[in-house]
A and B are shown apart, each in its own frame.
Chain A
Amino acid sequence: MTIKETQDIIIEEFSMFPDWMEKYEYLIELGKGLEPIEERGKQEKNLIKGCQSRVWLDAKYEDGKLVFKADSDAIITKGIVSLLVRVFSGRMPREILEADLTFLDTIGLKEHLSPTRANGLLAMIEQIRMYAVAAAAAK
């Protein structure tokens, strides 16, 4: 499945929740369901500090693919983190670098990526791209 296809599936899932509360309930559910990051991954170097919430991002490069694990101290942020992991984890660096990230906009969560929101999500996406650039260069 391509990044675009994964995004389309997420968009379809969210189309079932026209109401804001339901949308957030679903994000909370996703956040609670996200595979917990091991303590090793929660070290300082993986911490993305925001004014609002904090995000941890751990990356491994295996068999030409980047595998991401992530976490957040805020559950709604964590729900969005889980979506980003679903979209980006297990991809080749080139796929990540060429991806057009549109699904958050489509499902009405674009404001969560505002730089002034300072919830760590924008920095997380930048960090994912940095890992992809580094992995692509390492080849």
Chain B
Amino acid sequence: MNEPDIRAVFPALEQKVYGKPLVYLDNAATAQKPEKVIALLDEMNSGVNGNIHRAVHFLSVQCTERYEQARRVIKKYINAAHEHEIIFTSGTTASVNLLAYSFGQRYIRKGDRIVVTTQEHHSNIVPWQLLCERTGAVLEVWDIDDSGVLDPKKLEVILDKSGPAPKLLAMAHISNVLGLVNPVRDIIRIAHHYKVPVMIDGAQGIVHRRVDVQDLDADFYVFSGHKLYGPTGTGVLYGKEKYLEEMGPWQGGGDMIASVSLTNGTKYAPLPMKFEAGTANFIGAAALGAAVEFMDSMDELWLKEHEETLVSETVKKLSEIEGLTLYGTAGTYYGLSWEKIPLFSFSVEGAHPNDMALLLDKMGIAVRSGQLCAEPLVERLGQTALLRISFGVYNTLEELDYFAACLRKAVAMLR
């Protein structure tokens, strides 16, 4: 599927806001859904609905099959070694919290170190802080440099400190502020050299890069459905079998047990159900499978070119605006390549991001302003707020032109 056809399968793009055609540039927050995903949600919500895994009746079997089919699709898409390494969650945040709890219970003790970077979204900071509060572990920060990128040598300093190595490195594949693709494959290799497992927050990464968890050798890879053109309230925790087997469950309830006894203790279900307590969002998960199939059906070459064109054209347009500072520039840093996705955070002298966002909204353009759920990063960049535009597969160069014209107008009004 390529550009001429693609917009037609996203009904949300046809709408007008304040009487103006919607220009949706907040895809890093959530993306619109293609018809196939919507149709599957509708079909299941209005009929194909029976609780999964347990019952023998027709609807239950149908839903179980669709739920497990989605797991197979995702397993194949990210090239996991086993289906049971795909755990369905309600999103990236739930995946990180699950891991912080279960991995924490199993492996983290007082004084242990957990490493995150300054680039992280709040949902890859706060669950680890909570774990540190519970256990007395210590959160250590691998800081960015002034261009926003991470020097691998600084990581080695952290990993090489005397005493036990850190228990985990948890970091973003692609920062939701900088839009730079961290060279996670190289970073994971460094961490593994020190026997430190790595969790990759792929909330943005899975949307813009083809992920092969075995090639990356990621120990955990987490992502959300709703940024990947799927439904809200869906997500995935991929984990290597070895860890998932050793870790205990997070939540208790139905579906996650093998047998329950009030006197002889409870035995847990095998993977993946050990981590899927209660009634899963099986309709959402099935629709996430459809979203992944949609992504898989895209012409990879076209998509790559489309993204590269959007990146170079946007950089050009933004550079024409006086007083604009862009955070996160592609390039070679520390001998590694840092690519840029079409996601741009910037500040403009004399125009507050919140004001620009309010004016752009009234011109029909959806953007994001503020701390972008990454307060430490925005602060590290020396700002209190930023404006962010993020493109999806369906955004066009015409929309970019319209945005650039509107941004000029907004800045002129504000200065």
Contact = CB atoms under 8 A, between A and B. Distances in A.
Given A25-B413, A118-B370, A74 B359 contact: no
Interface in A52-90: 52-54, 73-77
A51 B413 CA distance: 23
Given A51-B371, A52-B369, A20 B362 contact: yes
Interface stretch (B34-42, B63-71, B350-358, B392-400): B350-358
Contact of A73 (B18, B370, B371, B384): B384
A53 B362 CA distance: 19
Interface string A5-43: 000000000000000110011001000000000000000
Contacts of A76: 352, 354-355, 358-359
Interface string B361-383: 01000000111000000000000
Given A24-B413, A51-B370, A52-B385, A75 B355 contact: yes
Given A24-B358, A24-B413, A53 B18 contact: no
Interface residues of B, number: 15
Contacts of A21: 359, 362
Contact of B354 (A24, A25, A52): A52
Contact of A74 (B355, B362, B371, B413): B355
Contacts of B362: 20-21, 24
B352 A28 contact: no
Contact-residue bracket for chain A: 10 to 19
Contacts of A75: 352, 355, 414
A21 B412 CA distance: 13
B354 A53 contact: yes
Interface string B328-359: 00000000000000000000000011110011
A122 to B, nearest CB: 14
Of B358, B359, B369, B384, chain A has the most CB atoms within 10 Å of the CB of B358
Contacts of B370: 51-52, 118
Contact of B352 (A20, A25, A73): A73
A119 B414 contact: no
B153 to A, nearest CB: 34
Of A25, A28, A52, A53, chain B has the most CB atoms within 10 Å of the CB of A52
Contacts of B385: 51-53
Contacts of B353: 52, 74
Nearest to A49: B384
B353 to A, nearest CB: 8
B18 A119 contact: no
Nearest to B362: A20
Contacts of A24: 358-359, 362, 413
Contacts of A74: 352-355
Nearest to A51: B370
A20 B384 contact: no
B354 A28 contact: no
Nearest to B371: A51
A53 B18 CA distance: 24
A119 B384 CA distance: 12
B222 to A, nearest CB: 24
A119 B354 contact: yes
Contacts of B384: 54, 73
A77 B414 contact: no
B145 to A, nearest CB: 26
A76 B353 CA distance: 11
Contacts of B369: 52
Contacts of B359: 21, 24, 76
B365 to A, nearest CB: 13
Given A52-B369, A118-B370, A77 B354 contact: yes
A28 B371 contact: no
A123 B230 CA distance: 36
A20 B384 CA distance: 27
A73 B369 CA distance: 14
Given A52-B354, A52-B385, A53-B352, 5 more contacts: A21-B362, A28-B414, A53-B354, A75-B355, A77-B352
29 contacts: A20-B18, A21-B359, A24-B358, A24-B362, A25-B413, A28-B413, A28-B414, A51-B370, A51-B371, A51-B385, A52-B353, A52-B354, A52-B370, A52-B385, A53-B352, A53-B354, A53-B385, A54-B384, A73-B352, A73-B384, A74-B352, A74-B355, A75-B414, A76-B354, A76-B355, A76-B358, A77-B352, A77-B354, A77-B355
Interface of B: 18, 352-355, 358-359, 362, 369-371, 384-385, 413-414
The 8 tightest CB contacts between A and B, nearest first, are A74-B352, A20-B362, A52-B354, A74-B354, A52-B370, A53-B354, A51-B370, A76-B355
